[in-house]
Amino acid sequence: MKNRWLVCPQPNSSATARLFVFPYTGGAPSSFNKWIAEFPNTIEVSIVHYPGRGSRFNESLIKDLFVLVEEIANAIQPELDKPFFFFGHSFGAVLAFEVARRISPQPQILFVSACGAPHVPNPNRPIHALPDSEFIRSLQELNGLPTEVASNAELMELLLPVLRADFEAAESYQYTSNEHRLGCPIIAFGGTDDFHVDRDRLEGWGCQTKGRFKSQIFSGDHFFINTARQSVIASMVAEITSSHAKG
């Protein structure tokens, strides 16, 4: 039976590892189309598919991050039959982290990208309830909304509710501490010109694991995963391959 929460563009039963990708606000599996060909055939890539977009366009948007977490955790559990890894960008990093806290076994590595550690205060103002013009301007400042998209009224009418729902889920999220840090390594990626996530907030992820922590900075802004895509993926593949070999 098809799992509506996961999209696997190139299923590969002979792959020895599985990578789950958690998209950013407004993101869909198609946002990572260019990624798939960059991974070796030993790594099968599955992208988490949030409701309200793509083939799930007619489904209700979810504005509570923990509702998303529970749904995703349940959907992913049957797919953990081989060594697996999580990657989340921005909003997706928080989702990946909270899902990792709820499942067993945990991922072999949690990759968090363009996201401050959950226990470190976020200095950025909430934007999900701003008037359309201010909301769109804030998205453009993040370089998360191409000008040709922002100027297309029909497209924005479809996209704005999705973006607002995701930002509301992200901005209303309250981190809850517990006595159990993650047992898996955490690797945090940041952008040299990402004004939204400073180095201190990125380094804070080291407090969330009992395992190894590493941070790596790539050239680019909040969406360095697009402009430095090949470098980001090469780093991930090297870490996954090394971890898998040790395992």
Enumerate the active-site residues: 90
3-state secondary structure of 176: coil
Residue 181's contacts (CB-CB under 8 Å, 6 or more residues apart) are 207, 208, 209, 210
- Name the β-bridge partners of 105: none
Report whether the peptide linkage leading into residue 131 is cis, meaning its omega lies within 30 degrees of zero: no
| 5 CB neighbour count, 10 Å cutoff | 20
- Name the β-bridge partners of 84: 18
**207, two tokens:** 């407090």
CA distance 43 to 34: 15
Long-range CB contacts for residues 223-229, cutoff 8 Å, separation at least 24: 223/114, 223/142, 223/143, 223/144, 223/191, 224/114, 224/189, 224/190, 224/191, 224/192, 224/194, 225/89, 225/113, 225/114, 225/189, 228/191, 229/34, 229/35, 229/38
